[in-house]
């Protein structure tokens, strides 16, 4: 489930600041060592983080090495899952970031990304799904001070409203994330009988559409950080951090259960529902398929309709349009240019050139040939091809790669969908869209060449675009007002 990986990517971004203490120009000896944190989802423990700062050398020069390890164990609809993220960043005083490593092992999939500054550029080697890619990018404009943005705000002269901006390069997103930390509140608490100031700092990340809230102690140490409304990182000692029953189910604990149940949900052609709890306007996607109407009580009336494509002029594949370049391009996770992916896609589509019929063939093949198994992983097409199993994320990523491999524009979509399992409700889900003269929603997990109208979209695109959905967890409410049935196409 891609949302789990998004959450830990963001948690790593916040946890990184907790591992640091002061700029390298100060006496670093006071801040060397290891700190431990417990990781929680919906107030249930799911893992721990270990952060470490040490002095080292890079290229014969003194450097600061920041390491962070996140370990998680959880359940997904009763299936146990594990995820481990290891990050290391190397900074040289006066130069900034000179090297980084990002290793992730989750759900049987592995990702390794390493970057090294040489000759004024950053040479990046990534290995995802067994495929190695090399790239040269500008050296990220990131310094060790960026890791202590929140700590820099905590001090005797701090006032509510003080703020600082910082940047951090995320290798798995292939993007530098800009953020701003602002002092939201200053509290005074008795800690061990001593009046102590605690600083509540809100950090916003516009590129991701997510905010975090951290509580900073008087020594500039992050005591707690919350990402979205569901994920929390809490300062603990080593023994406490590593202990826990780790029985939180990240699927069942996020189900949205409307009062009115939906029968035969896969046959629904139109759905009307009242929606509450969406604060980010970019999540209110209005399109030919779905639209929102504001209501007097502050809720929104959502109408979702399966696309009517009768009479549509359907293009042939490969679709050659400049405005579809992004929806046809390979990425780190969608390796549509890999020979094995191309061969499999061509064998499925055969001689079919009608874009809709080709998409239908791919949807049905992916549905029929992938074993259904939940996976807390970053998901990439080559690993799915190799393993032949996965949840909605694996189905969607693999489908998009196959579609792009034969010239059918496709993209990932995230949101919720109604399922009858476990008492019925809306589950967080991922599916896809394909361009067949217009964009239509398809669901390879359910084998739907046109996704039913209980699919509610909140985001589309890659890992970065999907992260903002985390703000909905624990806040979203949806009440079904009515549904209509019919046949697709």
| Same-domain status, 181 and 281 | no
Mean pLDDT (whole number) for 317-326: 93
Q: What pLDDT, on the 0 to 100 scale, is given for residue 444?
A: 97
State yes or no: pLDDT of 189 exceeds 50: yes
Query: What's the pLDDT band for 336 if we cut at 50, 70, 90?
Result: very high
Contact (Cβ atoms closer than 8 angstroms) between residue 394 and residue 385: no
Q: Which of 204, 221, 242 is the last residue of a domain?
A: 242
Q: What pLDDT, on the 0 to 100 scale, is given for residue 17?
A: 44
Q: What pLDDT, on the 0 to 100 scale, is given for residue 31?
A: 64
pTM over 0.85: yes
**CA end-to-end span of the chain, whole Å?**
29
State yes or no: pLDDT of 397 exceeds 70: yes
| Same-domain status, 135 and 207 | yes
Report helix, strand or coil for 240: helix
Mean pLDDT (whole number) for 244-256: 76
Which domain, by its residues, includes 96?
2-242
State yes or no: pLDDT of 186 exceeds 90: yes
The pLDDT mean for the chain works out to 87
Residue with tokens 């074993």: 371
User: Percent of the chain having pLDDT more than 90?
Assistant: 57
DSSP assignments along 94-112, one per residue = TTEEEEEEEEEEETTEEEE
Q: What is the pLDDT of residues 107-155, one digit of tens each?
A: 667 889 999 999 999 999 999 988 899 999 999 989 887 876 676 777 7
Domain for residue 29, yes or no?
Answer: yes
Alpha carbons 261 and 420: distance in angstroms, whole number: 9
User: Percent of the chain having pLDDT more than 70?
Assistant: 89
State yes or no: pLDDT of 9 exceeds 60: no
State yes or no: pLDDT of 18 exceeds 60: no
State yes or no: pLDDT of 201 exceeds 60: yes
Q: What pLDDT, on the 0 to 100 scale, is given for residue 108?
A: 67
> Where is pLDDT greater, at 340 or 222?
340
Burial class (CB in 10 A: 0-12, 13-18, 19+), 168: buried
| Same-domain status, 278 and 191 | no
| Same-domain status, 119 and 148 | yes
Helices 339-349 & 392-405 angle (0-180, nearest 10): 80
Mean pLDDT (whole number) for 5-19: 46
Domain for residue 192, yes or no?
Answer: yes
Query: What's the pLDDT band for 479 if we cut at 50, 70, 90?
Result: very high
Domain for residue 197, yes or no?
Answer: yes
Q: Hey, which bits of 77-206 come out as E strands?
A: 79-92, 96-106, 109-118, 121-128, 131-138, 163-170, 175-191, 194-205
Q: Return the H-helix or E-strand segment holding 398.
A: helix 392-405
Alpha carbons 126 and 107: distance in angstroms, whole number: 19
| Same-domain status, 223 and 261 | no
Domain for residue 247, yes or no?
Answer: no
| Same-domain status, 168 and 297 | no
Domain for residue 248, yes or no?
Answer: no
Q: What pLDDT, on the 0 to 100 scale, is given for residue 329?
A: 96
Sheet of 300-305, strands arranged across: 290-294, 300-305, 268-276, 477-485
Q: What pLDDT, on the 0 to 100 scale, is given for residue 355?
A: 98
Most confident of the ranges 2-6, 358-362, 466-470: 358-362
Q: Which of 192, 209, 242 is the last residue of a domain?
A: 242
| Same-domain status, 370 and 411 | yes
State yes or no: pLDDT of 474 exceeds 90: no
Contacts of 447 (CB under 8 A, 6+ apart): 363, 364, 367, 368
| Same-domain status, 272 and 404 | yes
Domain for residue 114, yes or no?
Answer: yes
Domain for residue 118, yes or no?
Answer: yes
| Same-domain status, 262 and 229 | no
Question: Residues 317, 318, 320, CA angle at the centre, nearest 5°?
Answer: 120
What CATH number is associated with residue 363?
A: 3.10.620.30
| Same-domain status, 103 and 128 | yes
Q: What is the pLDDT of residues 410-423, one digit of tens each?
A: 999 999 999 987 78
Q: What pLDDT, on the 0 to 100 scale, is given for residue 299?
A: 96
Q: What pLDDT, on the 0 to 100 scale, is given for residue 100?
A: 95
Domain for residue 249, yes or no?
Answer: no
Residue with tokens 């605690």: 198
| Same-domain status, 163 and 264 | no
Alpha carbons 292 and 298: distance in angstroms, whole number: 12
| Same-domain status, 238 and 320 | no
191 forms bridges with which residues in the sheet? Answer: 194
Lowest-pLDDT choice from 207-221, 348-362, 439-453? 207-221
Q: What pLDDT, on the 0 to 100 scale, is given for residue 30?
A: 55
Query: What's the pLDDT band for 247 if we cut at 50, 70, 90?
Result: low
Tokens of 245: 């029953």
Query: What's the pLDDT band for 44 if we cut at 50, 70, 90?
Result: confident
Q: What pLDDT, on the 0 to 100 scale, is given for residue 10?
A: 47
Mean pLDDT (whole number) for 296-304: 97
State yes or no: pLDDT of 167 exceeds 60: yes
Contact (Cβ atoms closer than 8 angstroms) between residue 362 and residue 354: no
Q: Which of 202, 220, 242 is the last residue of a domain?
A: 242
Question: Residues 394, 206, 479, CA angle at the centre, nearest 5°?
Answer: 60
Question: How many independent structural domains does the chain possess?
Answer: 2
- Whether the ω angle into residue 318 lies within 30 degrees of 0, i.e. cis, is yes
Largest CA distance in the chain: 78
State yes or no: pLDDT of 229 exceeds 80: no
Q: What pLDDT, on the 0 to 100 scale, is given for residue 2?
A: 38
């Amino acid at each position: 489930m891609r949302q789990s990986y998004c959450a830990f990517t963001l948690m790593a971004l916040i946890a990184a600041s907790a591992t640091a203490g002061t700029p390298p120009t100060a006496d670093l000896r006071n801040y060397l060592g290891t700190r431990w944190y417990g990781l929680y989802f919906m107030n249930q423990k799911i893992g721990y983080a270990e952060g470490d700062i040490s002095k080292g050398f890079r290229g014969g020069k003194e450097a600061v090495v920041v390491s962070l390890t996140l370990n998680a164990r959880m359940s997904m609809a009763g299936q146990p899952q594990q995820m481990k993220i290891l990050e290391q960043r190397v900074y040289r005083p006066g130069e900034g970031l000179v090297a980084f490593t990002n290793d992730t092992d989750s759900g049987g999939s592995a990702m390794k990304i390493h970057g090294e500054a040489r000759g004024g550029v950053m040479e990046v080697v990534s290995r995802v799904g067994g495929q190695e890619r090399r790239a040269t990018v500008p050296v990220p404009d990131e310094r060790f001070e960026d890791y202590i943005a929140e700590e820099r705000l905590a001090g005797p002269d701090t006032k509510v409203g003080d703020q600082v901006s910082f940047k951090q390069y995320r290798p798995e997103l292939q993007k530098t994330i800009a953020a701003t930390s602002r002092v939201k509140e200053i509290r005074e608490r008795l800690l061990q009988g001593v009046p102590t100031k605690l600083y509540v700092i809100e950090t916003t990340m516009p590129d991701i559409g997510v905010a975090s809230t951290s509580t900073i102690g008087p020594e500039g140490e992050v005591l707690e950080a919350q990402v979205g409304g569901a994920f929390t990182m809490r300062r603990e000692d080593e023994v406490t951090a590593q202990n826990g029953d780790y029985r939180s189910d990240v699927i069942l604990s996020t189900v949205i259960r409307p009062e009115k149940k939906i029968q035969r949900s896969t046959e629904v052609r139109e759905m009307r529902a009242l929606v509450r709890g969406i604060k980010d306007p970019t999540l209110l996607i209005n399109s030919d398929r779905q639209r929102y109407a504001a209501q007097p009580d502050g809720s929104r009336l959502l109408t979702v309709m399966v696309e009517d494509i009768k009479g549509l002029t359907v293009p042939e594949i490969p679709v050659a349009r400049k405005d579809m370049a992004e929806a046809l391009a390979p990425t780190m996770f969608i390796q549509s240019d890999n020979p094995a992916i191309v061969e499999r896609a061509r064998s499925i589509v055969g001689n079919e050139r009608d874009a809709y019929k080709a998409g239908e063939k791919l949807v049905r093949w992916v549905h029929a040939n992938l074993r259904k198994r939940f996976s807390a992983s970053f998901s990439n097409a080559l690993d799915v091809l190799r393993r032949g199993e996965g949840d909605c994320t694996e189905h969607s990523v693999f489908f998009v790669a196959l579609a792009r491999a034969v010239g059918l524009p496709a993209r990932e979509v995230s949101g919720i969908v109604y399922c009858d399992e476990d008492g019925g409700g809306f589950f967080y889900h991922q599916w896809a869209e394909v361009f067949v003269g217009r964009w239509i929603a398809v669901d390879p997990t359910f084998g739907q060449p046109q996704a039913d109208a209980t699919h509610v979209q909140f985001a589309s695109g890659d890992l970065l675009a999907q992260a903002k959905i985390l703000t909905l967890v624990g806040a979203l409410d949806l009440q079904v007002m009515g549904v209509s049935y019919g046949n697709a196409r």
